[in-house]
């Protein structure tokens, strides 16, 4: 692909992955805390976050098909621009309606961003070496993601603690820094992501080819029980993510007494958790050798859900944060294993589409889960909601059974 070797493509992929997720680390947990500080209720925040998820749900297939039809680079550039815009709107929001606009924009950004960079790397790696193992490089990218989010979370916590403008919320500065980093990411995408020249990449071409790419991906899903099982995993996995992403900072706020206090503690805690995520991601090759990709993915899914349950029942902030760290350790190991299994079921003409289908199911399940778990947390307790999320997510291990049977058939 434009003369890039697999190693060169991997280096660019790892760098861009790290930079893409640095802003998420800087503002990690604050997507709940900022609206809460500005007077919104937990139920309203649940609706807002589900709104973002439903936007992603509606756009995942068209954007995945578009990426397969016209290339990965245009979608990455458009996504970076929307990331900057949505961050500023969220920062300036004071009402439910303006927060809703910000999260709609963020939903469009996430749909555009979902899969094209990874698909670009896998295309480049396979073009250079058709037999390339994908688990290890995907694990290295995930490790870079975790390390960068850890550093970003530490930076975000430091920015909250610094609070150089007393007249404004301590949560404002991290969002300003995040918007700047998204802009830098867009510039580097323009420089580093190169694809083969495509003829007739016009609006008419995109409108005609995108539905064809979508149908190809859906046809692949209908014909593959393994792929259907992998996608089903996301329904359950998303519930655990609500437990450790969205409910953990709320629980910490309850224990510490204020959003600012929770944000100041959550920054360093998130840095440690994402460092553990990087450790988990780096262990992918070892896990695959011992258990095979499907077996390793199944074990990590069960462990992740169990840890979320323990996080919910742990007493006090220390117990909560220890469980939170181990949730990210297992989450970091599970992701690259899952995605490598997805790539084994797709080709270059359906790769972004398959990733989009997987992400669409995850986003839809996450949005529906928020509409259940956030009100559950408000009417009962966050402890109950976290335990329910973790216990339900462990059932997702059954989705790996077809891939496990395929793995055993191939080896034996």
Residue 27 lies in a domain: yes
Q: What is the pLDDT of residues 354-397, one digit of tens each?
A: 887 888 788 778 888 988 998 898 888 888 999 999 999 999 99
The stretch 177-205 carries a mean pLDDT of 81
Q: What mean pLDDT comes out for the span 95-115? A: 92
| Residues of the domain holding 75 | 6-411
Q: How many degrees, rounded to 5, is the angle at CA 143 between CA 189 and CA 342? A: 80
pLDDT on residue 402: 93
CB 5 within 8 A of CB 129: no
Is residue 155 scored above 50 in pLDDT?
yes
pLDDT for res 396: 93
Q: Is the model more confident about 69 or about 177?
A: 177
* 15, HSE (Cβ side, Cα atoms, 13 Å): 15
Confidence bin at 3 (pLDDT 50/70/90): low
Average pLDDT over residues 302-329: 89
Q: Looking at the domain assignment, is residue 11 inside a domain? A: yes
Q: In this structure, is residue 109 part of a structural domain?
A: yes
Whether 42 is in a domain gets the answer yes
In order, the DSSP letters of 301-370 are HHHHHHHHHHHHH--HHHHHHHHHHHHHHHHHHHHHHHHHHHHTT--TTTHHHHHHHHHHHHHHHHHHHH
Whether 98 shows a pLDDT value over 90: the answer reads: yes
Residue 98 located in a structural domain: yes
Mean pLDDT of 2-21: 89
Task: State residue 54's pLDDT score.
Answer: 82
pLDDT tens, position by position, 133-154: 787 888 899 889 888 888 888 8
Q: In angstroms, rounded to a whole number, what is the distance separating the alpha carbons of residues 127 and 260?
A: 49
Residues present in the chain in total:
412
3 state SS for 201-212: CCHHHHHHHHHH
Let me know if residue 405 belongs to a domain: yes
CB 172 within 8 A of CB 33: no
CATH code at 171? 1.20.1250.20
pLDDT tops 50 at residue 274: yes
pLDDT in tens, 212-261: 666 776 777 787 888 899 999 999 999 999 999 888 888 888 888 777 77
Share the mean pLDDT of the chain: 85
Q: Give pLDDT, residue 203.
A: 52
1, part of any domain:
no
Confirm whether 396 is domain-assigned: yes
In the chain, pLDDT over 70 holds for what percent of residues? 93
Q: Which residue has the tokens 């629980």?
A: 251
Q: For position 190, what pLDDT does the model report?
A: 93
**Each residue's pLDDT tens digit, 70-82:** 888 999 999 999 9
What pLDDT sits at residue 62?
82
pLDDT reading at 314 higher than 90: no
Evaluate if residue 1 carries a pLDDT over 50.
Answer: no
Q: Domain count for the chain, please give it.
A: 1
Higher pLDDT, 260 or 98: 98
């Amino acid at each position: 692909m434009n003369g890039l070797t697999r190693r060169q493509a991997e280096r660019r992929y790892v760098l861009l992955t790290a930079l893409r997720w640095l802003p998420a680390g800087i503002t990690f947990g604050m997507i709940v805390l900022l609206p809460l500080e500005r007077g919104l209720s937990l139920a309203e925040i649940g609706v807002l976050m589900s709104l973002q998820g439903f936007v992603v749900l509606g756009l995942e297939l068209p954007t995945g098909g578009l990426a397969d039809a016209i290339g990965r680079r245009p979608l990455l550039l458009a996504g970076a621009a929307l990331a900057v815009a949505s961050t500023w709107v969220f920062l300036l929001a004071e009402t439910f309606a303006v927060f809703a606009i910000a999260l709609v924009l963020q939903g469009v950004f996430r749909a555009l961003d979902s899969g094209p960079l990874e698909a670009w790397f896998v295309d480049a790696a396979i073009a250079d070496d058709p037999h390339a193992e994908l688990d290890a490089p995907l694990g290295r990218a995930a490790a870079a993601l975790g390390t960068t989010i850890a550093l970003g979370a530490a930076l975000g916590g430091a920015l909250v603690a610094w609070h150089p403008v007393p007249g404004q919320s301590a949560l404002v500065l991290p969002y300003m820094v995040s918007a700047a980093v998204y802009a830098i990411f867009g510039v580097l995408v323009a420089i580093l992501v190169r694809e083969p020249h495509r003829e007739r990449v016009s609006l008419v071409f995109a409108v005609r080819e995108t539905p064809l790419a979508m149908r190809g991906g859906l046809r692949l899903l209908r014909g593959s029980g393994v792929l259907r099982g992998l996608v089903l995993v996301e329904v359950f996995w998303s519930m655990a993510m609500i437990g450790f992403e969205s409910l953990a900072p709320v629980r910490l706020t309850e224990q510490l007494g204020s959003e600012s206090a929770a944000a100041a503690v959550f920054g360093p805690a998130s840095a440690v958790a994402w460092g553990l995520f990087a450790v988990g991601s780096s262990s992918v090759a070892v896990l695959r050798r011992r258990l095979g990709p499907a077996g390793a993915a199944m074990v990590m899914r069960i462990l992740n859900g169990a840890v979320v349950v323990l996080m919910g029942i742990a007493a006090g902030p220390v117990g909560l944060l220890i469980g939170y760290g181990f949730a990210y350790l297992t989450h970091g190991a599970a992701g690259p294993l899952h995605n490598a299994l997805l790539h084994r079921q797709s080709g270059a003409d359906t790769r972004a589409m398959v990733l989009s289908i997987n992400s669409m199911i995850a986003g839809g399940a996450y949005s529906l889960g928020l509409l259940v778990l956030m009100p559950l947390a408000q009417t009962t307790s966050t402890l109950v909601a976290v335990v329910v999320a973790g216990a339900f997510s462990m059932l997702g291990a059954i989705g790996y059974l077809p891939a496990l049977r395929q793995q055993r058939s191939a080896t034996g």
